A = this chain, B = another copy of it.
Amino acid sequence: MNAPAALAHLVPEVQQREVPAALIAALKARFGERCSTALAVREQHGRDESSFQVPPPAAVVFAESTQDVADAVRLASEHDTPVIPFGVGSSLEGHLLAVQGGISIDVQRMNKVLAVNPEDLTVTVQPGVTRKQLNDEIKSTGLFFPIDPGADASLGGMSATRASGTNAVRYGTMRENVLALEVVTASGEVIRTGTRAKKSSAGYDLTRLFVGSEGTLGVITEVTLRLYPIPEAISAAICSFPSIEAAVRTTIQMIQLGVPIARVELIDVNSVRMVNAHSKLGLREEPMLLMEFHGSPAGVKEQAEVVQEIASEHGGKAFEWAATPEERTRLWTARHNAYFAAVQSRPGCRAISTDTCVPISRLADCLLDSVAEADASGIPYFLVGHVGDGNFHFGYLLDPDDPKERQVAEELNDKLVHRALSLGGTCTGEHGVGLHKMGFLVDEAGAGAVDMMRTIKRALDPKNIMNPGKIFSLG
């Protein structure tokens, strides 16, 4: 690949180890047709939603059980060969790419809800179950699982990247909502990292060590999650603001007052325009908060009244209710489609998304300077944010045939990340490090903390076969 010098760090260092023919033979003997070396299958498993391009894995194993995963990992370990777990392929940062070669273990067929415990508000699933599938299957219990990254991701993948989404301001992220895991370790052993007890002080928190480890320490083969009662009343509202700052100030104040808001999304004027065009809506073309309240009918009304009052103090206008479930769904669908609306607004473009998260008191500062820089760059963009958590995404809409645009966008992201870090924030709120943010992680955590991560990785995966080359380099 020929990339401009400034993009050198974005070209993954590809050093694919040779996958021994004996391993492929052993996998074929064990898995038969469930081990594929067809180019189309390998290519499908060798990319994700990032824009990196890397040669695909040498083979794909379609696992149907924990034992399948354990056997595949054990065989790979015997042949010193990398293993990359694959859910639905919706990662954004190059997590799935075979930068050091190896095999992909696809867990999509491990898609059973294993046990629902409505009295305990817990569920145990296989890792290939997606978030929408889970909510469909448990609907009759009156419970739901709130974590909603944009994609209909697998719960194994969501655990591995510590995903979140629009409901995190009230319900937390995968960090707070994974109770326990079953994991196949780098040696092919099967361990459990916790129980169904709601809390525990029993030893090291292996569950949270694996949540967010991006497949680099083991393969997740079961996930036990917390569930929540579907609220008796749900209502959504939108409100337009004279500025992004006014919308942020409104959010800070409602959270300080203890309003248990379930969702509060910032949508900038560019996104509103794109969403209006894409979803045939007539939203006022100003920065907007899209909110949702959960609770009892009286509680929801009370929350909304408080928020309406705070918003009007900050110049909020056109506070509008989505009174019916249909209207509510229409609004949230529009929000979830913001990405597609944006991509359609510039035909042929490719979007790349930033993911910084800062303490909410610093959010306006962080956003305003970054918006000014994005405006000055001339690159079309949109901005959406889980503003209650201080997490937001710029989506830069790039002409894929113009490397200069990619470079400018990466420079914008670079400035944004360093601004966020200087304000006490993180380079990634919910997408993970993958390949793209390995440099930023060192800037954020410091060499000592990243060295500690490396030490853990080397101890738990001495052959460096579990999704190697991600999060940090071991060189």
Contacts and interface: CB of A to CB of B under 8 A. Distances in A.
Interface of A: 117-122, 142, 161-164, 168, 172-173, 175-176, 185, 189-206, 208-209, 211-213, 228-229, 231-232, 252, 255-258, 260, 295-296, 298-299, 302, 355, 357-361, 389-391, 421, 424-433, 437, 440-441, 444-446, 448-450, 452-453, 455-456, 458-460, 471-472
Contact of A200 (B202, B426, B460): B426
Contacts of A444: 195, 202
A390 B119 CA distance: 12
A441 B202 contact: yes
A424 B390 CA distance: 36
Which of A161, A176, A440 is most buried by chain B, counting CB atoms within 10 A of its CB? A176
Given A202-B444, A202-B445, A452 B191 contact: yes
B361 A175 contact: no
A359 B120 contact: yes
A448 B185 contact: yes
A202 B426 contact: yes
Contacts of A121: 255-256
A191 B298 contact: no
Contacts of A176: 172, 176
Nearest to A457: B204
B228 A258 contact: yes
A194 B161 CA distance: 16
A360 B452 contact: no
B201 A429 contact: yes
Contact of A460 (B258, B456, B472): B456
B456 A195 contact: no
A167 to B, nearest CB: 12
Contacts of A195: 421, 424-426, 444
A455 B421 CA distance: 32
A460 B455 contact: yes
A29 to B, nearest CB: 27
Contacts of A437: 202
Nearest to A180: B424
Contacts of A390: 120, 197-198
Contacts of A432: 201
A50 to B, nearest CB: 14
B205 A229 contact: no
A446 B453 CA distance: 24
Nearest to A429: B199
Nearest to A447: B191
Given A302-B299, A448-B189, A359 B196 contact: yes
A197 B120 contact: no
Given A203-B450, A208-B208, 7 more contacts: A119-B256, A172-B176, A198-B391, A199-B391, A200-B429, A205-B209, A296-B299
A425 B360 contact: no
Contact of A117 (B163, B213, B359): B359
A319 B453 CA distance: 53
Nearest to A187: B448
A445 B450 CA distance: 28
5 contacts: A202-B437, A203-B472, A205-B211, A205-B212, A298-B302
Given A204-B209, A456-B456, A198 B389 contact: yes
10 nearest interchain CB pairs?
A: A459-B459, A229-B258, A119-B361, A208-B208, A200-B426, A120-B359, A191-B448, A196-B424, A197-B426, A162-B201
Contacts of A119: 252, 256, 359-361
Given A205-B208, A208-B208, A200 B455 contact: no
B456 A204 contact: yes
A252 to B, nearest CB: 5
Contact of A199 (B302, B389, B440, B471): B389
Contacts of A296: 299, 302
A203 B196 contact: no
